[in-house]
A and B are shown apart, each in its own frame.
Chain A
Amino acid sequence: MHVLGIESTAHTIGASVVSEKGIISNVNSVYIHPKGSGIHPREAAIHHSEEGPKVIKEALRNAGIDINDLDAIAISLGPGLGPCLRVGATLARYLSLKFSKPLVPVNHAVAHIEIARFACKASDPLVVYIAGGNTIISTLVDGRYRIFGETQDIAIGNAIDYFGRVIGVDYPELINVEKLAMEGKEIYELPLPVKGQDVSYSGLLTAALKLVKEGKKLEDVCLSFIEHVYATLCESVERALAYTGKKELLLTGGTARSLILKEKLKYVAQEHDASFAVVPAEYAGDNGAMIAYTGFLAFKSGVRINVEESYVKPMWRIDEVDIIWHTN
């Protein structure tokens, strides 16, 4: 059985083929925003519509499969940016109709979790999914990925990227802010907004930017900011581990590429006698493989969607999706 998956929720257009053998191709093209600005949804969508067909062809070619031999096409319908989502959805619908292939809806957030579970062979993990648009601590309970903690305002990746853009570091902002932080010495006190298992970063971001304006040493502000941001997240993760009693901790999403956070979360897991795994770099950022793989699981369990009903869902929540392919 072969499933083609298409991803286009934000800055990445990706395509991949998955079969019983695993991930047999994974091709991605990332829209890089101009320095100093964030992602512009329409610009990204133009990039996706130019690159999309090429990416899909290459994914099929690398997999050595003819499009006629596919069993299904999986599409990431949300959550994400409307203009970007529509590009992938349009391509998927077109292929589905033209080649009479069933269409399988995939939730992007669920896919980040599934690919990490697969790549790290995690059986019942507490998942930390952090990215530009998401900060979610979740685990599977009664057939859904329930949220044990999330951001009440902006996502962790976004807070760090925004901070990085303001202080003028290059893409990828996350890594460059961390590198500056490693050279910092002084820690300034900033708000530490842990609300139960939830986090919130806008107050922390504003306070850190104020220090920048006051002319404090950049390395020190970076250190203070990063330490507070990660302390906040680690604490929520700890609370979730304590509350759920899970013995596996799994980190996924684009911000999983952080150099510093991994070390911190490793300690968190250790303290709670949990194992710790991080999604491999190739599946950390948005990618086609996670959609193809999740689509494969869903398709095998009978999940389908009619083309006429395959609307994009920019606000599709992770805990709205029935996870019928896991038994625990």
Chain B
Amino acid sequence: MIELLSKGAEAEIWKGKWLDLEAVFKVRKSKPWRHPRLDKMILETRTVKEAKIMYDAFNAGIDVPYIFDIDLQRYTIVMEYVRGVTLKNVLNKKEDKVYELCEELGKIAAKLHMRSIVHGDLTPANVIIRENGKLCLIDFGLANFSNRIEDMGVDLHLFLRALESSFALIAEKCFDSFVRGYAIMDGYKAVLEKVKEIRRRGRYVLERRLVAKL
């Protein structure tokens, strides 16, 4: 018995059984608007990379779904099914515990970054709150190995922007809580500075001049 959990931008998420365990099948989809060769290149690279990074994060003691299997013919990763609700769902309800959860997520982001892993899509939809209350990070589809402050800054920037765009009223307080957790990392201040810079850059830059200098 297999059930479609979500039809995301990149992949379909199916719930089923692997051996006797509840499992999630993350199946990357071909995109009709991509050139077929580019499409194949992207699907392969991303499937392998996602699995590799999840495995590394797992070994670093970060809570991510356990990987059961990889099927490169079908661009599929088989992993543990994590019972719980996403952080996005909880934010929608604006309960008080969201601030604690954001702080906890800040700590997790710091741990990832200390292991030179950047998530690449750190949004509330990609965090599952397990039934025991612990946070499990999912969707490493855009993750990378990187030591660059810039890439770490992008993680924070994306989280902040997701908050601002969907939960404008509590965004600031949530992000402050996140930063409180994130501060366990040495050098976190440099990353925060970078976030400011990224935001400034995204603001309407006088592009034509910028390009003239390229």
Contact = CB atoms under 8 A, between A and B. Distances in A.
Interface string B135-150: 0000000100000000
Given A205-B214, A263-B33, A134 B204 contact: yes
A155 B34 CA distance: 21
A253 interface: no
Contact of B41 (A189, A202, A241): A189
Interface stretch (B14-22, B106-114, B120-128, B182-190): B120-128
A196 interface: yes
A39 to B, nearest CB: 5
A28 interface: no
Select the residue from B8, B38, B158, B210 with max chain A CB neighbours within 10 A: B38
B125 A243 contact: yes
B33 A268 contact: yes
Given A151-B202, A152-B201, A315-B203, A187 B208 contact: no
Interface in B61-78: none
B12 to A, nearest CB: 11
B42 A192 contact: yes
A189 B34 CA distance: 13
Contacts of B42: 192, 231
Nearest to B155: A196
Nearest to A273: B7
Contact of A267 (B7, B33, B125, B210): B33
A133 B208 contact: yes
A293 interface: no
Contact of A146 (B33, B35, B142, B168): B168
Interface string A198-230: 100010011000000000000000010001101
A234 B158 contact: no
B1 interface: no
B214 to A, nearest CB: 7
Contacts of A154: 205, 207, 210-211
B161 interface: yes
Interface string A226-245: 01101100110011011110
Given A197-B158, A231-B42, A162 B33 contact: no
A243 B139 CA distance: 14
B60 interface: no
A228 B38 contact: yes
Contacts of B41: 189
B36 to A, nearest CB: 9
Contacts of A195: 120, 142, 154, 158
Which of the four size classes fits the interface of chain B?
35 or more
A67 interface: no
Nearest to A202: B214
A39 B214 contact: no
A326 interface: no
A194 interface: yes
B32 interface: yes
Interface in B32-67: 32-35, 37-38, 41-42
A79 B41 CA distance: 38
B32 A267 contact: yes
B89 interface: no
A152 B198 contact: yes
A155 B169 contact: no
A153 B201 contact: yes
A264 B165 contact: no
A264 B35 CA distance: 10
B23 to A, nearest CB: 22
Contacts of B2: none
Given A152-B202, A268-B33, A162 B165 contact: no
B75 to A, nearest CB: 15
A133 B204 contact: yes
A202 B33 CA distance: 22
Interface string B74-87: 00000000000000
A265 B123 CA distance: 24
Contacts of B10: 235, 238-239
Given A231-B31, A242-B8, 5 more contacts: A81-B206, A81-B208, A230-B33, A264-B33, A315-B205
13 contacts: A109-B204, A132-B207, A147-B165, A152-B201, A153-B201, A158-B211, A162-B214, A187-B35, A197-B158, A239-B121, A242-B9, A271-B32, A315-B203
Interface of A: 38-39, 41, 78-79, 81, 109, 132-134, 141-142, 144, 146-148, 150-155, 158-159, 162, 187, 189, 192, 194-198, 202, 205-206, 223, 227-228, 230-231, 234-235, 238-239, 241-244, 263-265, 267-268, 271, 314-317
